[in-house]
Amino acid sequence: MEQKETTLWDALRSCVNGIKKLLQWCVQLVAKMLRLTFQRWWIVFGMTLLCMAAGIYYSRPSNKIYKYRAVATLNGPSVIEVKDFFESMNRACDAYYVIDCLNDGTADYVDYNRSHSLSDTTNVVMKDRIAFQFVTRHRERVPQVEAQIMQYINSNPHFLAEYHAYKAHADRQYRFDQDQVEKLDSMTTAFYRDVNTPQIHSNAWELAMGRKEIVLPLRSIEQFMEHKAERDSRYALVTAPVVMHDHFLPTKKAVNGRLKCTAIGLIFGWFAGCIIAAFFDERKRILQWLRQK
């Protein structure tokens, strides 16, 4: 006998029927739980209060648990190398990519949810930034953990070799910028020394000196100085393979917040109370089944 070929329509109809059955089962379950709550309210209500009290106690101020986060700059090592090395050796702290949405060199957000795809060409992973996060209730241990993380990464021989090569290039770039500034100072000093004020003509972003046609490109000079200020700020961080921007700081909301723990306790307590009430209703049948040989 030939079997009927399953079509796309048959597959969709099966999926819809499966979803309908699942929804019906959920409705029946909730209805049964509501009936148990009404019939055995002292069991359900008592268990719910107990679990809510446990949630409130767990979220007490002295037991607050926070996520501590920090962003670091990489001087030489690649972000993938540092992330893989760190996560392969450290279980208590995680590393995350820093995302640049506009690809303009400015960090926009950290991918703490690990939802970013490395093939995404719109939101680019920054090559010289990485973020760290760990969870603890012991605030006094945070500086010690931070020091251990930095020591752990910055003592890696491979990262140190990449850092020294990177720093040598950064030193050359810094000296070059300084030379250009000195030359610009000399040029502008000579410009204003050799001309009287009435002979200076202004044209947009340029200053011209009389008939000598000596021009100062003010706009280009300003752009260079802005660019140099950014590079000087970046150069100040070239002190180790990985440099923290700031110390580890806690998130605003605790992991075990009062509202969150109370809500979880309420839901869990209601389910647990309904299960206990169901066992209470079926206790005779359960005892008979246990006594069977």
CB-CB contact of 125 with 97 (8 Å)? yes
CB-CB contact of 97 with 83 (8 Å)? yes
Query: How many CB atoms lie under 10 A from the CB of residue 17?
Result: 10
Residue 31: which pLDDT band, with cuts at 50, 70 and 90?
Answer: confident
Higher pLDDT, 33 or 116: 33
Question: Tens digits of per-residue pLDDT, 190-235?
Answer: 666 665 555 555 555 555 555 455 556 666 777 788 888 888 888 8
Question: Does 203 share its domain with 82?
Answer: no
- Whether 186 has a pLDDT exceeding 90, the answer reads no
Does an H or E element contain 106, and which?
none
User: What gap in Å lies between CA 268 and CA 73, rounded to an integer?
Assistant: 43
CA angle 26, 32, 34 (to 5 degrees): 105
CB-CB contact of 146 with 244 (8 Å)? yes
Structural domain contains residue 276: no
CA distances from 208 to 184, 190, 212, 220 (A): 16, 13, 8, 15
Question: Does 118 share its domain with 260?
Answer: yes
Q: What pLDDT does 91 receive?
A: 66
Structural domain contains residue 285: no
Structural domain contains residue 110: yes
Structural domain contains residue 11: no
CB-CB contact of 170 with 235 (8 Å)? yes
Query: How many CB atoms lie under 10 A from the CB of residue 29?
Result: 11
Strand segments, DSSP code E, in the chain are 66-74, 93-100, 109-110, 124-136, 200-203, 206-209, 214-217, 242-244, 249-250
> Domain residues for 176?
168-239
Question: Does 247 share its domain with 152?
Answer: yes
Mean pLDDT of 177-199: 70
Question: Tens digits of per-residue pLDDT, 131-176?
Answer: 999 898 888 889 988 888 888 889 989 999 999 999 999 999 988 8
Structural domain contains residue 216: yes
CATH for 113: 3.30.70
Number of domains comprising the chain: 2
Question: Does 80 share its domain with 140?
Answer: yes
Question: Tens digits of per-residue pLDDT, 226-282?
Answer: 888 888 888 888 889 999 988 899 998 999 889 999 999 999 999 999 888 888 877
Structural domain contains residue 127: yes
Exposure string for 85-105, b = 16+ CB within 10 A, e = fewer: bbeeebeebbbbbbbbeeeee
Question: Does 228 share its domain with 248?
Answer: no
CB-CB contact of 133 with 68 (8 Å)? yes
Hunting for tokens 């760290």 — which residue is that?
A: 132
CB-CB contact of 253 with 202 (8 Å)? no
- Whether 283 has a pLDDT exceeding 80, the answer reads no
Q: What is the mean pLDDT of the chain?
A: 82
Question: Does 151 share its domain with 252?
Answer: yes
